[in-house]
Structure 1
């Protein structure tokens, strides 16, 4: 068993990730920390976690803990991940990895024997893996276009997602998902991007953003993300022969099957759809099991710091495009 510690009592940890980790093979969640010790103890009791700490530093000093899960606000991802690595821990850090690529590059100082992975749990879900398998099989023909939408409605001025100074906004919170999806399914990196962004006048955060990414060789990805819209999400992989649709690509509900739809018809609306059902699973559980296997040396880290930095480079280019009203080049993965 790999012993895990959790930094903060953030909602995503309490409601989704920690319960999922507690079901994971090879994972033992032994500690949680908060700046409020009483709150840490309360959450630890609720979730059956043995240890509770009143500071992040105290948890990092615990010699029994091997892995840190870092779901802190965006502006604390890089500094606390570095602190955890210096304390000898491996780190699963929530997305986005940092506030920009310059900050994210600080993670390069972490020794190679400390594993750091950005928590894109979607990559562990069988529906993404099956969709990639279909795309790579050639069944879609040449994959030409990836189209995605991800939106929800959150207009709470106190919510950290609406706090620009803490890395709030739709692009940082959810725009990173279609970026990762495009890179994953094309198995390539975009060379340039262009964006159209609408910002909330009160929050200063992006509330509606549309982006086009050029992957070269005639391959394009387009996505829209919104923090003030009806809740909806979808990915379409469009090839020269067929189209593959992922119905709930990003926050697939735990314990429910997911659906892939393959459009085999040449005439719009003729109903020629093949439906493939992916058995129920919890992508957070699968992510935890994967990272524990990496820590135990049972398999290689599927992606690490360089991948996380590249995602931030793309987000940076999108912001530059908004500012300069132009196509912007993306720094290549190095």
Structure 2
């Protein structure tokens, strides 16, 4: 029997408690073995489903634990690069929450550390582990919708009632683009293989972070050139959707980023008067992410979201900020 990969988590973040820790616990070939938190009370909900969980009082103590093979890092955004590098230096494989960095050029240091260590380091970009995205890529790249002309997306939620949330704070790397732009930008890149040729952005800010932003641009890649538009917001009603529009059809993903939470994962394909819908009820992309990460560690299976892919999305985010105009919607 293959020995399970023993995971540790740096910090008792709400997202880790609700999604990634249960996913690690449920994944084949993985064991949730340790958490680093100075608060036993914060560790208690994790221990409720993983009774043998070891608690370390500091992040450094967990990284020094020789029984831990891999770490998951759900810390605030501005700490991601620092602790990813520390985890690699400690000899751990590392899966870091998105965005793994706040500037694309920071990824070079992580790639260098990854290559020098021979370990796996990746951003926790879970959506590319969901079959709906592989199906979308297959359909678009096989010509099911003809010549791709336009891609648009939206991802929004409203957290104005929680001003203390790290997403609402500039000093922790907050803002809607860092939090959810990685999905609207990166998913288009994943499906089409294209990169931005030009990009403009308008945004509204509060307390130094973008709370609404729209990017528009021209993408170019192996499928040719297409126009692109995406809206991200932390001040609008919950909505998410991605659409790929060709001259012979349209693909629409109705729960592209939070399937099972927002709605059931569905892919709608329109060709002429024909509409077909594919569904993936109950698929947990967090579990698949952990299992695929483990497969890459054990057997060298190519990882769906290597750091080189992550660099492209980070560069697109950099471009959005560099070309942004701040406006008022009042």
Structure 2 residues not aligned, in runs of 5+: none
Residue 331 of structure 1 aligns with which residue? none
5 Å matches for 1:277-316? 277-316=279-318
**Residues 32 and 40 (structure 1), Cα distance of their counterparts in 2 relative to 1, 3 Å cut:** farther
Q: After the TM superposition, which parts of structure 1 deviate over 4 Å for at least 4 consecutive aligned residues?
A: 254-257
Residue 196 of structure 1 aligns with which residue? 202
Residue 38 of structure 1 aligns with which residue? 40
RMSD of aligned residue pairs (Cα, Å): 1.9
Question: Does 1:205 pair with 2:209?
Answer: yes
Following the alignment from structure 2 to structure 1, what is the Cα–Cα distance between the partners of residues 326 and 286?
Answer: 38
Residue 234 of structure 2 aligns with which residue? 227
CA displacement, residues 82-121 of structure 1 (integer Å, 9 cap, x when unaligned): 0000000111111011121233332133142111111111
Residue 186 of structure 1 aligns with which residue? 192
**Residues 255 and 181 (structure 1), Cα distance of their counterparts in 2 relative to 1, 3 Å cut:** closer
Residue 71 of structure 1 aligns with which residue? 74
**Residues 258 and 324 (structure 1), Cα distance of their counterparts in 2 relative to 1, 3 Å cut:** closer
Residue 236 of structure 1 aligns with which residue? 243
**Residue 43 of structure 1: how far off its partner (Å):** 3.6
Question: Does 1:215 pair with 2:219?
Answer: yes
Alpha-carbon contact 1:171-1:209 (below 8 Å) kept: yes
**Residue 40 of structure 1: how far off its partner (Å):** 4.9
Q: Secondary structure at the match of 2:44?
A: helix
CA displacement, residues 31-77 of structure 1 (integer Å, 9 cap, x when unaligned): 1111x242454244223252111100000001111111111110111
Alpha-carbon contact 2:21-2:46 (below 8 Å) kept: no
Question: Does 1:128 pair with 2:114?
Answer: no
Structure 1 residues not aligned, in runs of 5+: 267-271, 326-334
Following the alignment from structure 2 to structure 1, what is the Cα–Cα distance between the partners of residues 15 and 234?
Answer: 17
Name which of structure 1's ranges 279-288 and 222-231 shifts more when overlaid on structure 2. Answer: 279-288
Q: Secondary structure at the match of 1:31?
A: strand
Residue 22 of structure 1 aligns with which residue? 25
**Residue 249 of structure 1: how far off its partner (Å):** 0.2
How many residues were matched structurally?
A: 317
Following the alignment from structure 1 to structure 2, what is the Cα–Cα distance between the partners of residues 44 and 244?
Answer: 39
The TM-score normalised by the length of structure 1 is 0.90
Residue 94 of structure 2 aligns with which residue? 91
Following the alignment from structure 2 to structure 1, what is the Cα–Cα distance between the partners of residues 303 and 64?
Answer: 25
Alpha-carbon contact 2:128-2:304 (below 8 Å) kept: no
The TM-score normalised by the length of structure 2 is 0.91
Following the alignment from structure 1 to structure 2, what is the Cα–Cα distance between the partners of residues 236 and 66?
Answer: 39
**Residues 250 and 66 (structure 1), Cα distance of their counterparts in 2 relative to 1, 3 Å cut:** same
**Residue 324 of structure 1: how far off its partner (Å):** 9.8
CA displacement, residues 190-235 of structure 1 (integer Å, 9 cap, x when unaligned): 22211111112xx221111000132134312210011000100001
Alpha-carbon contact 1:3-1:64 (below 8 Å) kept: yes
As a proportion of its length, which structure holds more strand? 2
